[in-house]
Amino acid sequence: MLLILSSLFLVAYAYKPLSNSFLQTISSGGSDFDPNNGTLLSPILKPRALGSVGHSAVQHHFVNFFSTELPRWKLKWYNSTSILPNGTEVAIENLVFEREPPWTKEGQANWLTLAAHYDSKTVPEGYIGATDGAVPCAILMHAAKSIDQYVTQMHDEMAALGEGGTVEMDMGVKILLLDGKESFDEGEPALYGSKLVMRIIEAIIY
C-alpha cells in the first residue's frame, strides 16, 4: 500500500487496464455504501439543493465523519456567494479536508487532490442525485478512511528516517467536496464552487 501511495504522489501514468489482482486489493466499502442505512452513503441520499435543510444536513455529515473518524485531517471552508439568474444571492460552501505530514509548512505539501460535488438539482423537485454527487462523495470518504492508517505509517517512517522538508518528499492528500455545481433551472451546470476554488488556486500561483 505504501508503494501504491508513493506512486500516486510521485508519478503520473496514462490510463491503462487494471489487473484483476490489483482490483482485488481495493476495499469494497461493504455496508458503508448501503443506500438505506450505510454509514457513509445513506445520509447523502436526500435532496440537497443550495440553501436547503438537506444541504446543511449533508455538510454536517461530512464534518462529523472526519472529526470523529479521521481527526488528523484538517477542515478548511472556502465560502463565497453567487447571484442566480433570477437575482437571488446564495451561499457557496466548499469543504476541503487535508492530510499532510505534521512537519510541513502551510502550502508546502505535494498534494494528491480528489474532488466531487455534493449539491443536488432543484429541478425536478425532490431530485436526489445518487450517482450525480452522492456516491462519488461517499467513495471519497471511504478512500480517506482506507488510506489514513497507511498515510500515518508513511509519515512516521519518514520522520524516523529524517526525511521530508521538501515539496517533492512531503506528500499529502486533499479531498474537495464542492458546492454549487448544479444550475437552478434545467440549463448548463453552474459550477459555482469549482470556479471559486480555481480563483483561489490562481491567486496562490500568480
Residue 113, phi-psi category: left (phi > 0), alpha (psi -120 to 50), beta (remainder): beta
For residue 200, the model assigns a pLDDT of 65
Q: What is the pLDDT of residue 2?
A: 44
Identify the pLDDT of residue 8: 47
| Closest C-alpha among 111, 142, 129, 115 to residue 182 | 129
Strand partners, 82: 90
Chain-wide mean pLDDT for the chain? 86
Contact 155, 101 (CB under 8 A): yes
Residue 24's pLDDT is what?
A: 78
Question: How far is it, in rounded angstroms, from Cα 23 to Cα 133?
Answer: 23
Kindly report the pTM of this predicted structure. 0.85
Residue 66, exposed/middle/buried by CB under 10 A (0-12, 13-18, 19+)? buried
> pLDDT tens digits for the chain (206 residues)?
444 444 444 444 555 787 888 777 777 788 999 999 999 999 999 999 998 999 999 999 999 999 999 999 999 999 998 887 778 888 999 999 999 999 998 778 888 999 999 999 988 889 999 999 999 999 999 999 999 999 999 999 999 999 988 888 899 999 999 999 998 777 778 888 888 887 766 555 44
Beta bridge partners of 75: 97
Separation in Å, CA 193 to CA 3, 98, 147: 33, 18, 26
Domains of the chain: 2-205 (3.40.630.10)
Q: What is the pLDDT of residue 137?
A: 98
Helix-helix angle 53-69:135-161, to 10 degrees = 30
For 162, the 3-state DSSP assignment is: coil
pLDDT at 16: 73
